[in-house]
Homo-oligomer: A and B are copies of this chain.
Amino acid sequence: MEESKSGTVRAVDRALDILLCFTDTTDLGLTEIAEKTGLHKSTVFRLLASLEAKGFVTRDSSTEKYKLGFRIWELSVNLSQGDDPATILLPEMERLRDILGETISLYIRDGSERIRIQAVQSKHSIRRVAPIGARLPLYVGASSKVLIAFADMNTQENMINDWKEFIDISAYKDQMAGIRKVGYATSVEEREPGVAAVSAPVFNRSHQLVAALSVSGPLNRLTLENMKDHAGLIIESANRMGNMLR
């Protein structure tokens, strides 16, 4: 991996790189971590010893794979509310709602589900939407497509493998490739009759997917034509959100 940045501590940089391997995977072996980080196995072993001793990673007793430890949860509890992405991104979501006049939602993937972590309601629509915190499946909706299409390859393979009995794998992969190409996904009446949605990925500064930004509304306002018209604005807004997250 990259050599030490000026002014940083190389061993610490490396240990944090190991932790960051767990942003989209829950279980990893030592050799897998060495491959992901480009570090020697003996180096990874020692750095993991430090992370494990302080509770940042733990060793699963049955699989012997490494996973994130309790301290990550403990620290996350103490993230102040002002730093919560759901709070940081709210003004930009409100700005987008004011421009487009539709309901704006933000979703993250959690295993084989997505969670609605923030929402700004359309001013004129009074239809029901899933409450914040709701867990929804990943096989319907524009944001589900985004959370799969822009996920790492391992996650995509796992989801596709889970669904192999229900989908045309080849057609699904083509659909995901098309979404990556245009940079957004659409859905029409997939989760709810009469409702369409457009969704774009939110990436962090390391170009990793962190959330899906979604605009939804009734079919008479979100036609295929103006979904395409809105896509550029939604992608641009998602990019602005990515820049707001450190």
List chain A positions with a Cβ less than 8 A from chain B. Answer: 5, 7-9, 11-13, 15-17, 19-20, 22-27, 46-47, 49-51, 53-56, 58, 67-81, 83-85, 108, 110-111, 133, 204-206, 210, 245-246
Contacts and interface: CB of A to CB of B under 8 A. Distances in A.
Given A13-B53, A22-B78, A47-B12, A85 B73 contact: yes
A12 B18 CA distance: 12
Contacts of A27: 80
Contacts of A22: 75, 78
A74 B85 CA distance: 9
A74 B26 contact: no
Contacts of A205: 55
Nearest to A70: B246
A159 to B, nearest CB: 15
A23 B58 contact: no
Contact of A133 (B68, B70, B133): B133
Contacts of A58: 83, 246
A193 B235 CA distance: 52
A3 to B, nearest CB: 13
B79 A72 contact: yes
A10 to B, nearest CB: 8
A78 B25 contact: yes
Contact of A74 (B69, B73, B210): B210
B73 A20 contact: no
Contacts of A133: 133
Nearest to A11: B11
Contact of A23 (B23, B53, B74): B74
Given A76-B72, A85-B70, A54 B210 contact: no
A85 B105 CA distance: 28
A70 B211 CA distance: 13
A8 B54 CA distance: 10
